[in-house]
Amino acid sequence: GDSVTQMEGPVTLSEEACLTINCTYTATGYPSLFWYVQYPGEGLQLLLKATKADDKGSNKGFEATYRKETTSFHLEKGSVQVSDSAVYFCALSSYYNQGGKLIFGQGTELSVKP
Amino acid sequence: EPEVTQTPSHQVTQMGQEVILRCVPISNHLYFYWYRQILGQKVEFLVSFYNNEISEKSEIFDDQFSVERPDGSNFTLKIRSTKLEDSAMYFCASSVAGATSGANVLTFGAGSRLTVL
């Protein structure tokens, strides 16, 4: 079945460091791909999305490119801030799933130190 | 910005008791979902609901779980007889369209933490 695999956390970085969180997927057909973020004590918020191969999603300085050839959707940011500390979830939604459910990776906790 | 609201934010219950978790989805959304996250684990799909019926459910969503949309605004998850392993954060979500829209964007609530003793 469809699945998402993320790099293990936690990831600890200093402010202004570069961030990459790896995400790979297995899916039938051509899924839509998402990154969600969960700040401490809050729910899941959509960070960015991409709906087809080579699309780049971006928001708040974060970017991710839908790579069909490597079945990947890695999250990147050039310079992280303390306020980026959160848990990041990669997810996919399959066109063939009429109910529209999301399948999540296990989440990667990011901690940014001043 | 419209949001999904969930109540209660935290509930503690005894094993074997019934629990109802409530959600108010965004008003013009048509698809509704429940997910759960056991501490330190993945966010797992439980059930999706559209047009007043379940459209998909996971193997986690067994006979002790049920969902209902009792009126035009609420969407509830009932756990009939709670077990210790039901302790988790339960997230409600809604979306305006399903997967055929091309990019099904779910809006999540802040979650209801259930602790079963």
Residues in chain B closer than 8 A to A94 (CB atoms):
99
The pLDDT of residue A96:
63
Per the structure block, which two tokens stand in for B50? 């559209």
- 8 Å CB contact of A100 and B97: yes
| Model confidence band, residue A65 (pLDDT cutoffs 50, 70, 90) | very high
**Measured distance CA(B102)–CA(A48) in Å, rounded:** 14
DSSP three-state, residue A83: helix
Nearest residue of B to residue A30, measured between CA atoms? B102
∠ Cα B55 A96 A68 (to 5°):
140
Phi, psi of B84 (to 5 degrees): -55, -40
Q: Enumerate chain A positions whose Cβ falls within 8 A of a Cβ in B.
A: 32, 34, 36, 41-46, 49, 51, 89, 93-107
- The residue with tokens 């979902």 is B33
From A32, A89, A99, residue closest to B103, measured CB to CB: A32
Determine contact: B41 vs chain A, CB below 8 A.
Answer: yes
pLDDT in tens, B85-115: 999 999 999 988 765 555 568 889 999 999 9
